[in-house]
Amino acid sequence: MGIVELLLIAIGLAMDAFAVSVGKGITLQRVEPRHALTTGLWFGGFQGLMPIVGYFLGQSFADYVTNIDHWIAFGLLTIIGLNMIRETLWGDEESHNADFGFKTMLVMAIATSIDALAIGITIAFIGIEIWIPAIIIGIVTLLLSAIGVYLGSLFGSRLGAKAGILGGIILIAIGLKILIEHLWA
């Protein structure tokens, strides 16, 4: 897996957090750097941590599924992508609240990083090391989440919906690429 693919995965994963960040920015009367930093650190931290957890879970049973790992990777990425699109189109408005407290941010960081756990499992099946992908995913999410808070205050909710759909499409496309590469290799 090359750097371009890793960046696309990171961007795709970050779209949930980005959309929530845009929602948080929409709710603020005045955006301050601490809002962007808090959001970026929570979301980026969890997005970087969850693939590591998923990776070690995936490694524990990767030997049993090596003949179908490409199908599992495709399935997981497709499910994650479709779920992101579904939540964007028909989700609730829960993510649009101005609270930056510990409990609120913890719940939202976990909720937006569950997909990254599945990506970690997928990376274990592919057989590459997790550290660089986890760092890239965390940093990209941190940056996009911080930017999302500012963009939310500038452009409103229209951008958040487009970000979730784009993220889902990117993840589905990467899953399809993995499947095609393994079937025709």
What pLDDT sits at residue 158? 56
What pLDDT sits at residue 88? 73
Domain extents in the chain: 3-183
DSSP 125-165: HHT--SHHHHHHHHHHHHHHHHHHHHHHHHH-THHHHHHHH
Residues with Cβ within 8 Å of 182's Cβ and at least 6 positions away in sequence, in order, are 69, 70
Q: Give CA separation, 23 vs 11, 92, 98, 103, 138, in Å.
A: 18, 12, 9, 17, 20
What pLDDT sits at residue 144? 97
Q: Is 31 helix (H, G, I), strand (E, B) or coil?
A: coil
CB-side neighbour CA atoms (13 Å) of 77? 28
Tokens representing 76?
Answer: 């997981």
What pLDDT sits at residue 65? 65
What pLDDT sits at residue 138? 97
Which residue ranges in the chain fall short of pLDDT 70? 62-63, 65-66, 91-98, 156-161, 163-164, 167, 185
What pLDDT sits at residue 95? 47
